[in-house]
Amino acid sequence: MAQSQNSFSLLDTHLLEQLQLPRVAIVHTEWNDKIVRELVNGCEGIIHKFTGDIIGKLAVPGCFELPFGCRQLWERYKNSDERPEAIIAFGAVIRGGTPHFDYVCRAVTDGILQLNLTLPVPVIFGVLTLDNEDQAWERLGGVHGHKGEEAAVTALKMIRIVRG
C-alpha cells in the first residue's frame, strides 16, 4: 500500500505558498457519503490554507458517474473568468461479493484518465478503492495519511505546473 508519509516530495508544500488564488472544483459521489464527506472536508482545508477558492461542487450518484460529472462541471465553467484550474473527483468504492467492484473501479479510472488527456485542466483521482470501510478511515487521517488532503496538494501542484 502506498503511504504518503514515505513520499516526502509529495508532502512538500513550500512552493505552494507562492501560488496566487488557485481555483479548484470538486465532483463527489453521494454513494458512501460519510467517507466522501471526509475526503472533501480534508481537501477544502488544504485549498483554503493556500488561499485557494473552490469555485464549484457537483454531486453525482456514484463513482461510475464521476467522469461525466467532471466533464459537465468543466463545460459549465469553461467560458467563465473563474473557471477551475483543476478538478478533483472524490468517491469510494468498497469491494462486495460480486465483480461489480472491478467494473466500477476500471470504468472510473479509465474515465478520469481520458479526461486528463482531453480537458485543458488536470483532473485529480481522489477515489478510494477499498476492501472494507475500516480501510477508508486508515486513509482519512489514519496510518495512510489523509487522501483528501493529498488530492488537494496534488491539484495545487498541478496548477503550479500548468501556470509555469
Residues that are catalytic: 100
60: enclosing H helix or E strand: strand 53-60
d(Cα 65, Cα 24) in Å, to the nearest integer? 19
3-class DSSP assignment, residue 91: strand
Reference 92, options 108, 73, 75, 112; nearest CA is 108
Cα–Cα distance measured from residue 58 to residue 27, given in angstroms and rounded to the nearest whole number: 5
